[in-house]
């Protein structure tokens, strides 16, 4: 039977079940009844209909707890798909995933400079449509497009106030009009935090600060189990914590920001400068004019023991640790997760970060916070983009039903 993502558009309970099984894997009918405060007959009816429609499958019986073992239900991973898009300042990744967040088509990664706004938007639209066409998968089977990107973003309005200005339309509406699919947008660091909380090392934790180590240094905050966005949705500008009054000039116009002192972009520039000055390093084989290639190469070099590369990340780690000390003093989080592109060198950064915490953080506070390295790493933003679509899955159904009334 051909399953269509839009075929259950107006059934709120069914979509709540699908969303729950996406996040929590297998559940029994009784579990779902308790979760949604529904009667057993109505829940069983909806589950059976979802099985007939191809969205849900039986997954065997739960372990015995003394009584009759309940039958467990799980999502059919191939019932529909999600188009996940992860963007940074220099490049973009597009990946079609199933309902277990597993790739179903090849990853596309291409250069796209967000600073070149008009050309970047045209290229993004072209790549999305080309990707969908080449996948051979009908749009009817795609639940939506989730996009993570840097910048000041209002996810409710679907607007990025920093990049990709579309004039009178929201960015999400513009892309929806050009692709024919529902689009959801959020800040990259918020999505990385969402991925870590739902499927990563911070799963089930309610007070988590997730640091996105990339060309900038972002922050996604989980407070009371939810993404914390602040009054206008812009909370978490970790990159612009001031470390000094006379440091490097930041893109924001201020001096001494964390981003201007310790980001992967800065580490890459320092590596290029060191190579030109004759520093001994294996990085001399890299095209020093290619910043992105240098960023990837310097992480690989550090992992392999290149002394110059380790020295650069040690300096960066101390500065990141100083900023984390400020974060711990303000938020007193249970856990801090090092995630994103730079999680690859998390073990190298961890020692200088701890060194900085010993120097700058009140011991009682530092002792209560655990610092973890993501096991999702560079994939976290793509997973977060998929999570964003499913987070809105039943909400979209409710608003759609209201519009039709």
Among 6-15, 200-209, 236-245, the least confident range: 6-15
pLDDT of residue 268 exceeding 80, the answer is yes
Together in a domain, 320 and 215: yes
Domain membership flag for residue 381: no
Domain boundary among 75, 100, 125: 75
Domain boundary among 155, 188, 221: 188
Domain membership flag for residue 390: no
Together in a domain, 323 and 288: yes
Longest dimension (CA), the chain: 75
Domain membership flag for residue 386: no
Residue 255: predicted pLDDT: 77
pLDDT of residue 124 exceeding 90, the answer is yes
Together in a domain, 102 and 168: yes
Integer Cα distance of 327 and 333 in angstroms: 8
Together in a domain, 118 and 253: no
Domain boundary among 161, 188, 215: 188
Integer Cα distance of 218 and 307 in angstroms: 27
Among 196-210, 294-308, 389-403, the least confident range: 389-403
Residue 95: predicted pLDDT: 97
Together in a domain, 101 and 42: no
Residue 149: predicted pLDDT: 94
pLDDT of residue 2 exceeding 90, the answer is no
Residue 397: predicted pLDDT: 41
3-state helix, strand, coil in the chain (%, to 5): 50, 20, 35
Domain membership flag for residue 385: no
pLDDT of residue 6 exceeding 70, the answer is no
Residue 118: predicted pLDDT: 73
Together in a domain, 354 and 206: yes
Q: What is the mean pLDDT of residues 357-370?
A: 92
Q: What is the mean pLDDT of residues 323-339?
A: 93
pLDDT of residue 9 exceeding 70, the answer is no
Residue 293: predicted pLDDT: 79
Together in a domain, 85 and 55: no
Q: How many domains does the chain contain in total?
A: 3
Condensed to tens digits (0 to 9), the pLDDT of residues 43-66 reads 999 999 999 999 999 988 877 666
pLDDT of residue 396 exceeding 60, the answer is no
Look at residue 109 and give its three-state secondary structure.
strand
Together in a domain, 299 and 211: yes
Together in a domain, 279 and 259: yes
Domain membership flag for residue 131: yes
Neighbours of 395 (CB within 10 A): 13
Q: Supply the pTM of this predicted model.
A: 0.89
Condensed to tens digits (0 to 9), the pLDDT of residues 269-308 reads 898 888 888 888 887 666 666 777 788 889 999 999 999 9
Residue 353: predicted pLDDT: 96
CATH code of residue 46: 1.10.10.10
CB 294 within 8 A of CB 271: yes
Domain membership flag for residue 4: no
What percentage of residues in the chain have a pLDDT greater than 90?
Answer: 62
Together in a domain, 158 and 100: yes
Confidence of residue 5 (pLDDT cuts 50, 70, 90): low
Domain membership flag for residue 279: yes
Residue 234: predicted pLDDT: 77
Going by the DSSP 8-state scheme, the letter that residue 74 receives in this structure is E
Domain membership flag for residue 174: yes
Together in a domain, 245 and 357: yes
List of residues 6+ apart from 68 with CB closer than 8 A: none
Residue 66: predicted pLDDT: 64
pLDDT of residue 400 exceeding 50, the answer is no
Mean residue pLDDT across the chain = 88
pLDDT of residue 259 exceeding 90, the answer is no
Q: Which domain holds residue 148?
A: 81-188
Among 5-9, 88-92, 310-314, the least confident range: 5-9
CATH code of residue 140: 3.30.420.40
Together in a domain, 34 and 104: no
pLDDT of residue 403 exceeding 60, the answer is no
């Amino acid at each position: 039977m051909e399953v269509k993502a839009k075929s259950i558009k107006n059934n709120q309970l069914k979509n709540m079940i699908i969303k729950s099984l996406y996040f929590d894997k297998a559940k029994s009918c009784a579990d779902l009844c308790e979760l949604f405060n529904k009667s057993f007959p109505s829940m069983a009816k909806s589950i059976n209909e979802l099985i007939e429609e191809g969205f849900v499958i039986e997954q065997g019986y739960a372990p015995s707890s003394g009584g009759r073992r309940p039958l467990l239900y799980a999502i059919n991973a191939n019932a529909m798909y999600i188009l996940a898009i992860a963007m940074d300042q220099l490049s973009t990744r597009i990946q079609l995933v199933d309902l277990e967040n597993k790739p179903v088509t090849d990853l596309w990664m291409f250069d796209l400079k967000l600073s070149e706004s008009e050309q970047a938007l045209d290229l993004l639209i072209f790549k999305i449509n080309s990707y969908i066409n080449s996948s051979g998968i009908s749009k009817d089977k795609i639940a939506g497009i989730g996009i993570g990107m840097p910048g000041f973003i209002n996810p409710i309005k679907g607007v990025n106030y920093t990049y990709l200005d579309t004039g009178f339309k929201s960015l999400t509406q513009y892309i929806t009009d050009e692709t024919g699919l529902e689009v959801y947008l959020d800040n990259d660091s918020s999505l990385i935090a969402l991925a870590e909380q739902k499927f990563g090392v911070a799963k089930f934790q309610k007070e988590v600060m997730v640091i996105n180590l990339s060309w900038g240094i972002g922050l996604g905050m989980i407070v009371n189990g939810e993404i914390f966005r602040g009054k206008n949705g812009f909370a978490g500008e970790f990159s612009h914590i001031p470390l000094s009054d006379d440091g490097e000039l930041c893109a924001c116009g201020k001096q001494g920001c964390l981003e201007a002192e310790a980001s992967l972009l800065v580490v890459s520039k320092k590596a290029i400068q060191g190579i030109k000055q004759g520093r001994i390093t294996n990085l001399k084989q890299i095209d020093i004019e290619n910043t992105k290639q240098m960023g990837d190469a310097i992480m690989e070099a550090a992992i392999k023991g290149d002394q110059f590369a380790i020295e650069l990340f040690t300096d960066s780690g101390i500065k990141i640790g100083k900023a984390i000390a400020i974060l711990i003093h303000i938020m007193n989080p249970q856990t801090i997760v090092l995630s994103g592109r730079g999680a690859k060198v998390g073990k190298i950064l961890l020692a200088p970060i701890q060194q900085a915490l010993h120097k700058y953080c009140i011991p009682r506070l530092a002792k209560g916070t655990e610092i973890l390295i993501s096991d999702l790493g560079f994939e976290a933003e793509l997973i977060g983009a998929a999570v964003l679509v499913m987070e809105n899955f039943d909400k979209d159904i409710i608003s759609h039903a209201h519009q039709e009334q």
